[in-house]
Amino acid sequence: IIIYNPWVLRFKMEIMSEIPFTFFLILSILFYQKKYNNIYLNAIIVGLLAAVLISIRTIGIIFPLAIIFDFIISFLKNRKKPDKNILRPFTYRFVIIFITAIISYIILNILLFPMPPDSSVPYISVFNFEIFRQTVLENLSYYIKVFQFFFSPYNKGWEFVSLILSSVVFTFILLGMINKFSRKFDIKDIIILLYLFVIMIYPYKGSGFRFLLPVLPLFMYYLIIGLKSIKLNFRFNNIILTLVLSAFVLIQYISGISNILKHQNRILPGPHEFSTVEAFSFIKENTPEKTIIVFTKPRVLALYTDRRSLSNERNETLIKMKNKFDEVGVDFYLIHNEISDDSIKKYINVNNEFIELVWNNKKFYLYKNIKK
């Protein structure tokens, strides 16, 4: 149901970090909850996975945060028990996880694959808590619609089926969450709440289903709990019911899958476009290895060129940009006609006596900082 969904198939045609992030998030949860004889080895593995999660996407920080909340809950549950040593394994495991995570993150992101310290600034700067309530309400409405559309994209003529199916699924997921929270509240529930909280306050509504993909397996988990919580007066074979419902969902995918196959040879906008390949190839072949480049998609540039990269904040002031770029030691500026922010374009124009154009094609312009 998940793998062959047209949304997921489209993600596979693009460079999306949500897919590996989803895999490592579920793997992290499984390792954290699995009972091992050697809890210290397990703690080291969980710490490594936490570092990988944060390295893939910044929102991976929710996993160690969830561990903190889980530790606090365990502490509050067991603090009044006569045996005070019962908390010792929890504490040791907690400490080992965080020490391993910190060391692993430093090795990955500072020693092995160093990135400028300001490269994560744009993700933080977009939050605007002055319009917090409005952002939450708009995102809540947006993601409910996106989730409902997940089950029948591009299915013209059968909208009534998708409306019924999505409403039923959404209802049973909520029922499953309530049921699960009331019975046994654990790390999975903490993660889903933290993740949903972050995307609800994140003022960006152009992601489609991308941001929901990492928690989709958890949604399916709650859906199953919700379905099991309903008591019916007649008996039925659970296997047959599962197969029938799955087939019903998969039938809704036919139109979307056909559309994808029809356009599978079309090159999507992004890193596989000729203009992008040309720009990244020029950078890789004609710039020093330790070059630092300003680009609106720093992680993509770093992935394809092996060059360090950072981005400016959207609508950032010229003075703030200058101070940041001078501090980091920027060598080049890569501008894209369509996706680069107007503020960086203005910065190039204002400082044209210190910046020169060294290469361009139809979409990209590469400028060199000659002031250094």
Q: Which of 194-198, 279-283, 314-318 has the lowest mean pLDDT?
A: 314-318
User: What confidence tier does 132 reach under pLDDT thresholds 50, 70, 90?
Assistant: confident
Q: Token digits for 219?
A: 């949604």
**Separation between Cα atoms, residue 67 and residue 60, nearest integer Å:** 12
- Locate all alpha helices (DSSP H) within the chain, ordered by sequence: 6-12, 18-33, 39-56, 62-78, 88-106, 121-125, 132-150, 159-183, 187-201, 216-228, 238-251, 254-262, 274-286, 298-305, 318-328, 342-350
* pLDDT digits 0-9 by tens, 156-199: 666 666 677 777 888 889 999 999 999 999 999 999 999 999 98
- Per-residue confidence (pLDDT) for residue 353, from 0 to 100: 86
Q: Which of 72-81, 148-157, 351-360 has the lowest mean pLDDT?
A: 148-157
Q: b vs e for 143-159, b when ≥16 Cβ sit within 10 Å of the residue's Cβ?
A: beebbbbbbbbbbeeee
3-class SS of residue 312: coil
Averaged pLDDT for residues 351-368: 91
Average pLDDT over the chain, rounded to an integer: 81
| DSSP H or E stretch at residue 364 | strand 364-369
R_g of the chain computed on alpha carbons = 24
**Separation between Cα atoms, residue 171 and residue 165, nearest integer Å:** 10
Angle of the 18-33 helix axis to the 62-78 helix axis, nearest 10: 20
* pLDDT digits 0-9 by tens, 214-257: 998 999 899 889 888 877 666 665 566 667 766 766 666 666 66
The 8 Å CB, 24+ separation contacts for 335-341 are 335/364, 335/365, 335/366, 335/367, 336/295, 336/296, 336/363, 336/364, 337/362, 337/363, 337/364, 337/365, 338/363, 339/296, 339/297, 340/295, 340/296, 341/296, 341/312, 341/314, 341/315, 341/316
Of residues 209 and 151, more confidence is placed in: 209
Closest of 250, 215, 266 to residue 10, by C-alpha:
266
User: Hey, what domains does the chain have and what are their CATH numbers?
Assistant: 1-16+126-266 (no CATH), 35-121 (no CATH), 274-369 (3.40.190)
**Per-residue CA distances from 102 to 44, 99, 108, 170 (Å):** 11, 5, 10, 37
Q: Is the pLDDT of residue 35 over 80?
A: no
Q: Are 338 and 363 in contact (CB under 8 A)?
A: yes
CA 336 to chain centre: 24
Other Cβ atoms closer than 10 A to 338: 7
Q: Are 146 and 209 in contact (CB under 8 A)?
A: yes
- Per-residue confidence (pLDDT) for residue 113, from 0 to 100: 67
